[in-house]
Amino acid sequence: MTTLRDLLAERRPLLIVSLPSNSQDFAKAAIEGGADAVKMHCNVTHRVTKKTYAPWVEVKDTAAALCSSLPGAVGIVPGDTAMASPAELDEMADVGLSFFDAYIERLPTYATRSRLLAMYSLGHSARLETARYLKGIGAQAVEASTVDASEYGSPLSALDLANYREIVELSGLPVFVPSQKRISPADCAELLALGVRGVILGAVVTGEEIGGYRETIAAFAKAMGK
């Protein structure tokens, strides 16, 4: 079973896809399109799509099925205002999930001791300087979610690039840029040149329909040299 920790050890750019639905169809299409890992959701209302995802007890069987059938790594957003419990985080590791990704302002301190690889999402409301301290409180990777919701879907700006670069330099951790802005395959080379480890594609770029989903991901995979 591939884990995100294994992938990070390979020292190459990584493509993660944040699934619009916790389904075999979307996960399989993402991996076939060239994704190295996929990310599920539970206990959360998505900030872009406004879709509400079921609690862990309703997602557990799907997570186990994805972990046992996919060649890529599988992770999860374990909640937002309602976060997975310590016992649920243990269950997530037990079924084969390899990482979690959550906003630091929503992350309970018990989650910092989870067996899952910890990706902390540094949101718009957090100071960039906070990146300097993430490793010391258990982070093993960072999602640079620095864009205000009012700007979701707009083009990348020079300020975005500067913010991503600062997080790379301050954190000393693998940093991933999510598609809060409408990034394109042509943007990938510039993003990777900043020192980020990869991109997380979400609904702003992939949409929420299975038609064309694999092809969209494949275009990014090609641009990243996969």
Cβ pair 116, 89 in contact under 8 A: yes
104-129 pLDDT, tens digit per residue, is 999 999 999 999 999 999 999 999 99
For residue 11, CA distances in Å to 165, 189, 195 come to 18, 16, 11
**Amino acid in the structure at residue 96:** G
For residue 76, CA distances in Å to 44, 109, 129, 148, 185 come to 11, 18, 26, 22, 24
Taking the whole predicted model, whether its pTM rises above 0.85 is answered as yes
Maximum Cα–Cα distance across the chain: 43
139-175 pLDDT, tens digit per residue, is 999 999 999 989 999 999 999 999 999 999 999 999 9
Q: What pLDDT, on the 0 to 100 scale, is given for residue 104?
A: 95
Task: Map out the domains of the chain with their CATH numbers.
Answer: 4-223 (3.20.20.70)
Q: What pLDDT, on the 0 to 100 scale, is given for residue 175?
A: 98
Q: What pLDDT, on the 0 to 100 scale, is given for residue 11?
A: 85
| E strand or H helix at 214 | helix 213-223
Q: What pLDDT, on the 0 to 100 scale, is given for residue 46?
A: 73
Q: What pLDDT, on the 0 to 100 scale, is given for residue 148?
A: 92
CA–CA separation, 10 and 157 (whole Å): 30
Q: What pLDDT, on the 0 to 100 scale, is given for residue 51?
A: 80
Q: What pLDDT, on the 0 to 100 scale, is given for residue 156?
A: 95
Q: How many CB atoms lie within 10 A of CB 65?
A: 15
Instruction: List the pLDDT tens digit at each of the 226 positions of the chain.
Output: 799 999 999 989 999 999 999 999 999 999 999 999 999 999 998 767 778 889 999 999 999 999 999 999 999 999 988 899 999 999 999 999 999 999 999 999 999 999 999 999 999 999 999 999 999 999 999 999 999 989 999 999 999 999 999 999 999 999 999 999 999 999 999 999 999 999 999 999 999 999 999 999 999 999 999 7
